[in-house]
Structure 1
């Protein structure tokens, strides 16, 4: 299984860190597989942990897989507070242009799901979007918005923070734009007991989308999936992609 690290230039002389997991031919050598999957991590996350496992599973299924850190996260340049959704979209586009696949699937978790949805509207090479507990409607961040409005910034337990710049950009990306424009198949996997991003948002989003949508609710699962739920998610994901 071939795994290579890359530095990809973005804006202002900065770069993002990406890892490419290459699909293998039957003889074990690197070769063109069944397609490409690019994984977008969540708001306070990075490309490690579950994303490494997901990429390894993608390779076993015959896909080239890419995981990367948005700026301000993991091994990428920049400060978290300076990054807006527009910057995250620019990072994702830079990753896609760098590897230049003929077609791809986007997979996004939580806030990475929102990024994936909006990127897919403008990227003609995206053939499908899969998400886990995606942020769709901007009301999900209303509690954060209130803190920023009152104090000027919100500092998370990890030590990173956001300020009013985040919401100035955030408000320019309503889910209504996705619902009106997205035409590729969508898969949404969501825990029924998610207290960070309500499953009701995914139900509403699935109803609003005017394309084929698979929505699967995972009983007893919260915003972070258990190992067994993650395994089931991957089984469902690659079965859906096969279909």
Structure 2
């Protein structure tokens, strides 16, 4: 029997900019419940493709687990310009969301999980590495090599080539991104970050994903196994980056739910 839940839009502030968010929580719980923070992908938002974040959050709430979905600064309904922020800013936004979750009256601050999708997998890996209170992480189609992924699609993307002396921004896939964003990519190593996270991790990937190839999940898995850390993988034979077809989408949501119920 599923639990009744509430769904409430709210916002919190970080570095003077408002971050738009949505909280889901069981409506009749009298004791604190676990919470999952969602990290969306590149140019995404707290809804994500085919409402997959919304559907996942509602499933969690029906099983007694709260969640916060939020838009990074410069994305979705949050304040700021996309071109002014970097992946490390998204990590800071995630940590701010974790702190916002701690202020919710219904949340057990000892039971916090992260769910990262695509570039949000990179973001969640860094946030988990930096936040000792994170109990578990689930990554969907996570980016392991941010610089390589961008460079493969834009071979001229070295800052000195892509940006003129007076040009601090460049177009990439219809979005303006800044020099700082590109330069930050070269310093990111989310595989190492997640290999230092000691708690359990579930890695999920579609084997037909051509946007973020399954080799990215393989890299995370290998690094964690080398450190003898609890790690499981869910490889979906027919799924692309958006986790289609629907049968495997359903398996993704179910396995993610079971993982959080077990580890939170």
TM-score by length of 1: 0.90
Q: Which residue of 2 aligns with 1:221?
A: 239
Query: Cα offset for 1:84?
Result: 0.3
Q: How many residues align?
A: 236
SS in 2 for 1:146: coil
Displacement after TM superposition at 1:147 (Å): 4.0
1:111 aligns with 2:114: no
Q: Give the superposition deviation at 1:177.
A: 2.9
**Equivalent residue number for residue 97 of structure 1:** 99
Looking at structure 1, the residues matched to 195 and 114 of structure 2 have their Cα atoms a distance apart, in angstroms, of: 19
Contact 2:117 2:139 in 1 (8 A): yes
Q: 1:102-153, CA deviations, whole angstroms, 9 ceiling, x for partnerless residues?
A: 3311001000111001100110110011011000123222224534334432
What is the aligned-residue RMSD (CA, Å)?
1.7
- Structure 2 residue 249 is matched with structure 1 residue 230: yes
Q: Are the structure 2 counterparts of residues 66 and 120 from structure 1 closer, same or farther at C-alpha, using a change threshold of 3 Å? A: same
Partner of 1:61: 63
Q: Which residue of 2 aligns with 1:200?
A: 215
1:178 alignment counterpart:
193
Any unmatched runs of 5+ in structure 2?
Answer: 103-108, 164-169
Aligned to 1:23: 26
State the alpha-carbon separation in 2 of the partners of residues 125 and 179 from structure 1: 14
Q: How does 1:120-159 map to 2 (within 5 A)?
A: 120-138=128-146, 139-144=148-153, 146-149=155-158, 150-152=161-163, 153-156=170-173, 159=174
Segments of 5+ residues of structure 1 without an aligned counterpart are none
TM-score (structure 2 length as normaliser): 0.83
User: Is this contact kept in 1: 2:204–2:234, CA < 8 A?
Assistant: yes
